[in-house]
Amino acid sequence: MEWLLELDKYLFVLINQSWETDWQNFLLPWWRNKLFWIPLYIFLLFFLFQNLGRQAWYLIIGLVLTVIIADTLSSQVMKKTIRRPRPCHQVEEQLPVHLLIPCGSGYSFTSSHATNHFGVSGFLFFALGRWLGRRPWWLILWAASIAYAQVYVGVHYPLDVIAGGLLGWLIGSLLARAMLKTGFIAREKA
């Protein structure tokens, strides 16, 4: 376990400092901010109602449930059980941190940003994949880029976002599959 934590710290320093660029310093603090994505969420709502009619309501309910479950498990269960300090709070270990946003007062493991975004990604991947005719792989890249940004700005370790991403993906994909199986979401276009 010790070697895994050392690898995690090594990867954190690599992403947070060695890979530092001016464009990432500018973009990634915004990229990981939920307000930055409001236009995408509005577009998604418009797309759902425009293309799926009443089915859109079930998808929205599924998305809301996904975020509630993902956020609760990450913030209230995982973080409060494991209690791993954020890298920006590791002053006793003298871990170098290039902090681009306020550190935050909560714990680090698991990243709620990663859990929530991978939850949404997993839900939409399975729920909308059949409607779109193929799997929307870009959703995984979107969630992964936000998870990467959490490490880059200095508030999470790589294992925090990996574990959060896996937890979120599991929640989102299981909820989408359950809604497909029970018929709340149609399997294909009507």
pLDDT given at position 94:
67
pLDDT in tens, 59-71: 999 999 999 999 9
List, for the chain, all residue ranges whose pLDDT scores fall below the cut of 70. 91-94, 131-135, 186-190
Q: Which distant-in-sequence residues (6+ apart) come within 8 Å of 131 by Cβ?
A: 51, 52, 186, 188, 189
Q: Give pTM, 2 decimals.
A: 0.90
Q: Are 74 and 154 in contact (CB under 8 A)?
A: no
pLDDT given at position 53:
83
* DSSP-assigned letter for residue 53: T
